[in-house]
Amino acid sequence: MVSRVIPVDPFDLVIFGATGDLARRKILPGLYRRFWAGQMPEGSRIIGAARTEQDADAWRASIRAAIEEFVAKSKHEAEVIDRFLACLDYVAIDVRGDGGWETLRDMMRQEVTQAFYFSVGPGLFGDLAERLHRYKIACETCRIVVEKPFGRDLDSAKALNATLAAHFDEQQIYRIDHYLGKETVQNLMAVRFANVLFEPLWNSQFIDHVQITVAEEVGVGGRGGYYDKSGAMRDMVQNHLMQLLCLTAMEPPSRFEPDAVRDEKLKVIRALDPLETHDIVRGQYRAGAEPSYLDDVEDPDSRTESFIALKVHVANWRWNGTPFYLRTGKRMKARTSEIVVQFKEPPHSIFEEDTGQRANMLSIRLQPDEGMDLRVTIKEPGPGGMRLVDVPLDMSFADALGPEAADVPDAYERLIMDVIRGNQTLFMRGDEVEAAWAWTDPVVAGWVDRGDRPMPYEPGSAGPEDALILLHRDGRRWREIG
């Protein structure tokens, strides 16, 4: 099968924070993979900018090393790597200083698409935006890409939005949530809106509940300082889990266009009931001989949660009575991200030997292996009578679409190409981010005011016991992690 790729115009992409972890691990390796696949248009350039005083060759050498470390060996072709590195340039700039900007301005071409990736801390966004204008580097049609965290509460998110709005229109701002760049997340929209099969059933009449899990095996490790000021609610729920919830719960947009999709997501966030205390379980990995959360952060009395489970109600006609259970945590049993749509059992069973639970389930896996799986009930083969069995209708991209399709692009590379194409559908709009903080803020403020301590959980487990009880008390259970 020949894949169809929407063409991209040549571009100048400037990456601020070009020597940082994100640039080395994700952005440049992602761009290299697109180049390797022949999807970076001829004449495009990537300009690194960071404080480090070095020349372009030194930066190219570090990116060569990053490609060798973070790109699959099957794509290491010396000649292709050399051609890719030839598209790279570098300029030393301290975002808060005044050196280097004129050099950058002279490098930029006016006739190509311009994009600026703000891969630096949000504290630098204001200076960066202001200097891009002061030095007349940013053209009217340029795009900027900003990373999470987009604020730490509603006030700071509003301030960040205002800072960016002072220099750029909303149509120029691409707020990345890399979960939206996952192939299966977009497939969730295709499954829902390009088939007649699911949408009539996609409501509280047929769906018992939805589970959204993002479990990580690693602890906070070297990021303890940043993480401890944030916690699972701010670091994961407000953005990634909220986006997954929105795509699962939203009404069909009239078109697959940026604002049509984002309007529907915003309506979901605004429809969320405020969280009740008894619908929240916070945890911290602490038990056992392993290093605990408190060893990974500076504050020995930290009350920041490394795990959270929530029961969320989307208060509208479609979802009345169908809870969404969300959970995310560090140092869990396995690295898994998935959305599980648990359908209701048939209202009446006609089969005598039908003893087990017979409810369909659609699971959308984001990691480790992207894919979808629908469980259906069939007759067990053989002469043993009408015995029923649950089987997966597993959808493998490789089986259905050929091996090429199994080579799923990384979320970052897809999103960067969308920036160049000028397609904002998979990026968060400012009002969405603010609405998500408006829902999150009172909950966080509540437990900070009360000084609530998270419950301890065993590293390598599925979280605290109370997270299991959150579902047990409703007669439900979490799907196994892993």
The binder of ligand NAD chosen from 54, 94, 103, 405 (CB under 6 A) = 94
Minimum distance from CB of 41 to ligand NAD (Å)?
26
Angstrom distance (rounded) from CA 144 to CA 113: 11
Interface of this chain with ligand NAD, residues 5 to 34, rule: CB under 6 A: 16-23
Taking the C-alpha atoms of residue 104 and residue 52, their distance in angstroms, rounded to an integer, is 15
Separation of alpha carbons 50 and 91, rounded Å: 7
- Least Cα distance to 208 among 358, 371, 338 occurs for 358
- Least distance to ligand NAD from the beta carbon of 95, Å? 4
Q: According to CB under 6 A, which one of 14, 95, 154, 426 is a site residue for ligand NAD?
A: 95
Contact segment (CB under 6 A) with ligand NAD among 35-43, 73-81, 141-149, 371-379 equals 141-149
Residue 291 has which token pair? 């290093």
Site for ligand NAD in 33-72 (CB under 6 A): 50-52
AA letter at 401: L
Task: Give the integer Cα–Cα distance in Å for 405 and 369.
Answer: 13
- Candidates 69-77, 119-127, 135-143, 350-358; binding stretch for ligand NAD (CB under 6 A): 119-127
Q: Other C-beta atoms within 10 Å of 479: how many?
A: 14
Does residue 147 bind ligand NAD (CB under 6 A)?
A: yes
State phi, psi for 379 to the nearest 5 degrees: -80, 135
CA neighbours closer than 13 Å in the CB half-sphere of residue 293: 29
Using rule CB under 6 A, residue 124 touches ligand NAD: yes
Instruction: Give the nearer residue to ligand NAD in terms of CB position, either 150 or 168.
Output: 150
Options 33, 34, 45, 148; binder of ligand NAD; rule CB under 6 A: 148
Size of the site for ligand NAD (CB under 6 A): 23
Q: Which of 167, 178, 240, 313 is catalytic?
A: 240
CB closer to ligand NAD, 54 vs 203: 54
Q: Judged by CB under 6 A, which of 119, 161, 322, 424 binds ligand NAD?
A: 119
Query: Considering beta carbons, is residue 26 or 209 the nearer one to ligand NAD?
Result: 26
472 is catalytic: no
Tell me the three-class secondary structure of 182-251, residue by residue: CHHHHHHHHHHHCCCCCHHHCCCCCEEEEEEEEECCCCCHHHHHHHHCCHHHHHHHHHHHHHHHHHHHCC
Handedness of CA 482, 188, 371, 375 (dihedral sign): positive
Binding site for ligand NAD (CB under 6 A): 16-23, 50-52, 93-96, 119-122, 124, 147-149
Catalytic residues: 240
